[in-house]
C-alpha cells in the first residue's frame, strides 16, 4: 500500500460577539462595576481584553468585570480572541457611554451664630436632587453645624453625591458692664475688651483694644464692635451718665500762701462752653470766665486785677448744656 502525505490545513475564522451581563449597552454609570463577556468559537479560546476609562477588576477569560472611573464620556472595550490553533481574530471594539452627573456644593465653611448658610448644588446633567433631610431643591439652607450631603441623579439613573461641613462659630462675648455714672474726671473708667477678639471698632472710630471714658458734659453712649479670628462680630453698648453734681467750694483764701489760693471747681473743664460769673452784694459783676480750667480759676480779684475784700459773693455757673444754671455763694477769706 502506498503511502500518501497527510496535510492538516487550519483555517482561522473567528467571529466574536460582545455582550453585557449587567445592563444594556451602551450606557454605564461612573464608579459602577459591570460584567461584560464574549461568545467565542470554541471553549478553548483565549481572550485578550483592553478597556479605556475603567479598570478590569476581574478577568474570567471570556468575560471581565469592569469598574468604570468617575469620568463621564465615551469609552471603549476591545477584545481579541486566540483559538487553540493560535489563530488570532480581528479585534472587536464596542463603545460604552459612561454617564456621571456633576455635583459640587462647595468647600467646608463656617458662619457666625445667628446667621444661616445656603448650600448651592452646582451641577450638570442633573435631573433630581436629594438632600440629607429629604428635601429635593437645588439649594439647602441651615443654621446648625454638621455634615451635609446631596445626591443627584441624571436621565440614565446614574447618581453622584457631594458632602460639605458647616461650622457655626459663637460670636465673641463683649461686656462693657452696666450703665453707670462717672464723676471721677481724673482716673475715668477703663474699658478693656482685648480678650474678646482681634480687632476693635469703638464709637469714636478708635481701633485700640481699650478705651478710657472721662467725665462728660452730658450722658454719653459708648459702644464697641469686636471681631474675632472667625470674623464673627460681638458688640456691647453702655451709657455713661453725666454726674451733674459738682463740688463747688463755698470759700477760698487768696492770701498769698499756698493754701486754697483760687476758687477751684473740679470737672468744669469738661464743659467747653461753660461760663462762670461772680457778683458782689450790690449785683456788680466782679469776675467772668468763658470755660473754667486751672489757668482760669478765680483768684479773688476783680476784672481789673484788683484784690477784692473779704466778703460773700454770688456766682452763676451756666454749663450751656440745656440744664438750669447753677447758683450759689462763695466767700473770700483773707
In a domain, 175, yes or no: no
Gap between the Cα atoms of 227 and 211, Å rounded: 16
CB neighbour list of residue 76: distance below 8 Å, 6 or more residues apart: 50, 51, 52, 53, 93, 94, 95, 96
In a domain, 221, yes or no: yes
Gap between the Cα atoms of 296 and 281, Å rounded: 23
- The b-or-e profile of 189-228 (16+ CB within 10 A means b, else e) is bebebeebbeebebeeeeeebebebbbbbeebebebbbbb
pLDDT given for residue 14 in this prediction: 47
pLDDT given for residue 23 in this prediction: 41
The domain that holds 212 is classified in CATH as: 2.60.40.10
In a domain, 12, yes or no: no
Residue 122 and residue 192 in one domain: no
Give the Å distances, CA to CA, from 154 to 49, 70, 89, 123, 126: 29, 14, 38, 10, 5
Structural domain that includes position 326: 251-332
DSSP string, 142-163: E-S-EEEEEEEE-TTS-EEEEE
In a domain, 26, yes or no: yes
Task: Report the SS3 class of residue 99.
Answer: strand
| Cell numbers given for 210 | 481699650
Burial class (CB in 10 A: 0-12, 13-18, 19+), 29: buried
Gap between the Cα atoms of 122 and 4, Å rounded: 79
| Cell numbers given for 262 | 483760687
Residue 185 and residue 163 in one domain: no
pLDDT given for residue 240 in this prediction: 87
In a domain, 3, yes or no: no
Q: Which of 99, 131, 158 is the last residue of a domain?
A: 99
Task: Report the SS3 class of residue 93.
Answer: strand
Task: Report the SS3 class of residue 123.
Answer: strand
Strands 275-279 and 311-318, bridge-based pairing:
antiparallel
pLDDT given for residue 256 in this prediction: 80
In a domain, 227, yes or no: yes
Residue 117 and residue 91 in one domain: no
| HSE-up (13 A, CA, CB side) for residue 299 | 13
pLDDT given for residue 266 in this prediction: 75
pLDDT along the chain (334 residues), means of 10: 35 48 68 88 85 95 93 91 88 91 96 96 94 95 97 94 97 93 75 96 96 79 97 95 78 89 84 92 96 92 94 94 88 93
- Total tally of structural domains belonging to the chain: 4
In a domain, 36, yes or no: yes
CB neighbour list of residue 3: distance below 8 Å, 6 or more residues apart: none
| Cell numbers given for 115 | 446667621
pLDDT given for residue 184 in this prediction: 63
Residue 184 and residue 237 in one domain: yes
Gap between the Cα atoms of 202 and 176, Å rounded: 12
pLDDT given for residue 22 in this prediction: 40
Residue 27 and residue 40 in one domain: yes
The domain that holds 315 is classified in CATH as: 2.60.40
Q: Which of 169, 196, 217 is the last residue of a domain?
A: 169
Cα–Cα nearest to 72, from 136, 155, 137, 130 = 155
Gap between the Cα atoms of 251 and 312, Å rounded: 9
DSSP string, 197-224: -SEEEETTS--SSEEEE---SS-EEEEE
Amino acid at each position: 500500500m502506498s503511502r500518501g502525505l497527510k496535510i492538516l490545513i487550519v483555517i482561522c475564522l473567528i467571529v466574536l460577539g460582545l455582550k453585557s451581563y449587567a445592563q444594556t449597552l451602551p450606557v454605564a454609570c461612573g464608579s459602577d462595576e459591570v460584567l461584560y463577556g464574549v461568545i467565542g468559537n470554541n471553549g478553548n479560546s483565549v481572550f485578550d481584553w483592553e478597556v479605556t476609562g475603567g479598570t478590569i477588576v476581574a478577568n474570567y477569560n471570556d468575560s471581565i468585570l469592569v469598574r468604570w472611573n468617575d469620568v463621564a464620556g465615551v469609552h471603549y472595550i476591545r477584545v481579541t480572541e486566540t483559538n487553540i490553533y493560535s489563530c488570532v481574530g480581528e479585534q472587536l471594539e464596542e463603545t460604552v457611554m459612561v454617564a456621571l452627573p456633576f455635583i459640587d456644593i462647595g468647600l467646608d465653611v463656617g458662619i457666625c451664630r445667628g446667621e444661616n448658610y445656603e448650600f448651592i448644588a452646582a451641577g450638570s446633567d442633573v435631573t433630581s436632587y436629594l438632600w440629607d433631610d429629604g428635601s429635593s431643591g437645588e439649594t439647602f439652607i441651615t443654621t446648625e453645624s454638621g455634615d451635609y450631603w446631596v445626591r443627584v441623579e441624571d436621565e440614565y439613573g446614574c447618581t453622584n453625591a457631594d458632602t460639605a461641613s458647616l461650622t457655626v462659630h459663637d460670636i465673641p462675648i463683649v461686656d462693657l458692664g452696666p450703665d453707670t455714672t462717672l464723676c471721677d474726671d481724673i482716673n475715668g473708667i477703663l474699658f478693656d475688651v482685648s480678650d474678646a477678639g482681634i480687632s476693635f471698632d469703638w464709637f469714636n472710630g478708635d481701633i485700640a483694644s481699650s478705651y478710657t471714658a472721662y467725665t462728660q458734659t452730658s450722658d454719653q453712649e459708648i459702644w464697641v464692635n469686636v471681631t474675632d479670628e472667625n470674623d464673627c462680630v460681638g458688640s456691647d453698648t453702655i451709657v455713661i451718665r453725666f454726674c451733674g453734681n459738682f463740688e463747688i467750694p463755698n470759700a477760698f483764701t487768696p492770701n498769698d500762701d499756698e493754701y486754697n489760693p483760687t476758687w477751684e471747681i473740679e470737672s468744669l473743664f469738661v464743659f467747653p462752653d461753660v461760663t462762670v460769673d461772680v457778683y458782689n452784694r450790690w449785683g456788680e459783676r466782679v469776675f467772668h470766665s468763658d470755660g473754667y480750667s486751672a489757668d482760669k480759676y478765680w483768684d479773688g480779684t476783680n476784672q481789673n486785677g484788683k484784690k477784692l475784700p473779704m466778703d460773700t459773693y454770688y456766682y452763676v455757673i451756666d454749663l450751656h448744656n440745656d440744664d438750669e444754671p447753677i447758683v450759689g455763694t462763695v466767700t473770700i477769706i483773707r
